[in-house]
Homo-oligomer: A and B are copies of this chain.
C-alpha cells in the first residue's frame, strides 16, 4: 500500500506571514474556503451544522479576517469615512465618538477626515478616501462642491448627511433644524422681555449662517430686527473671542440688552468678560449660547443655551449606515433629532 503524502497540517499551511488565513479555518473545519467565508459573514445560505463547525474552527485558530484582502476582493472595504470640519470644536468630537462607538463594534473602521470648513479641502479628502473603497460616507451638512457631490454619488457608497435636515428627497440626513433652534432661543429672549437682542457669531460656517437666519426670522416677526445688532466675525470660535465680541456688541447704539452667541464657547467667554467688567448678567445684559458645551452649567451665572443632540445624531446616523450596508429597510431618509432649550440663569 503506497504511502499517501500526509495531509498538510494546519501549521504547514500557514504562509510566510504567519497569519491564520481563511484557508486554515476551512481546512480545520473540513470545508472549502468559500464556504468558510460565507459561514463567517453569514450572508449566504449555509447549513447550520457547517456554519457552526466553521465558527468553532475560526475561534480555535484565532482567525482574524484581513481587511485589506476583503476590500480588494469585494471592492468595498470595512471602513466608513467621517468628514467633519474641525475637531477642536467639541461638537464634532462628540459626533466622532458616538459614530465610532457604534461602528467599531460592528466591525467598521471610521476614517476621520478634517475639512477645516473648506469645500475644496473636503473634495480632496473625498477623492483620496475613495481609493480606500469605503463602505459609506458620513458627511457634515449639505454645503459642498458640485464635484464632491458627484464623486459621492458615483461612488455607489451610501452617504448620510449630519447635523442638518433637509426635505429634499432621496437624500439621507440626520440632524436638526439649526434655524429653528436659533429662532427658539431668540423667541425665548423676546418672551423674557429683552428688546435689543444682539446676535454674535464667529466662524460663519453654513450652520452658523443658518442660526443667523433663525435669529433674523424671530426678530423680524417681533418687529425687533436691526442689522446693527448683528456681530459677525469670520475668525475661529473661541472663549477668548467671546469676550471681544461682547465688547463690540456693547459699542452698538443703543446698547443691546441681550446677546445671543452662536456657540457656547463664545457665550462662556461672554459671561466671563461681563463679570470682569462688572456687568450684571442677566439684569443689565442677558447672555445666551448654543450647543450646551462642557462647563456652560458651571458659568457665573450658568448659561442659558440650546442643547444639541450631536451624540444622538452620530449614533443614529451610524446605525442607519449599518442598516443601509445590510440592505435593511431604511424607511426614514431624513431624521430630525430636535433640540432642547435649556434655561439657566444668564437670561
**Chain B contacts for A300, CB-based, 8 A:** 272, 275-276, 300
Kindly state the separation between the CA atoms of A278 and B275 in the bound complex, as whole angstroms: 13
Report whether over half of chain A's contact residues are helix, strand or loop; otherwise say mixed: helix
Do the beta carbons of A272 and B299 come within 8 Å of each other? yes
Q: How far is A172 from B64 in the complex, measured between Cα atoms in Å?
A: 28
Q: Decide: B131 and A67 in contact? CB cutoff 8 A.
A: yes
When C-beta atoms are compared, the residue in chain B nearest to A294 turns out to be B239
> How far, in angstroms, from A298 to B96 measured CA to CA in the complex?
27
Residue A228 CB within 8 A of the other chain:
no
Asked whether A114 lies within 8 Å of B100 as measured between CB atoms, the reply is yes
Contact B88 A298 (CB under 8 A): no
Chain A 194-221: CB-based contact to B (< 8 A → 1; otherwise 0): 0000000000000000000000000000
Tell yes or no: A265 within 8 A of B by CB: yes
Q: Mark A16-51, 1 if CB is under 8 A from B, else 0.
A: 010000000000000000000000000000000000
Partner among B64, B71, B96, B109 whose Cβ is within 8 Å of the Cβ of A127:
B64
Is A289 in the interface zone, CB < 8 Å from B? no
- Return the CB mask of A95-128 against B: 1 if under 8 Å, else 0: 0110010000000011110100000000000011
Residues in B neighbouring A297, C-beta threshold 8 A: 240
| B97 near A88: Cβ-Cβ < 8 Å | yes
- Which of B87, B240, B275 is in CB contact (< 8 Å) with A93? B87
Beyond A64-B131, A240-B297, A269-B295, 17 additional pairs, beta carbon < 8 A: A64-B127, A64-B128, A67-B132, A68-B71, A87-B96, A87-B97, A88-B97, A90-B90, A111-B111, A112-B112, A238-B294, A265-B295, A268-B295, A268-B298, A275-B300, A295-B295, A300-B300
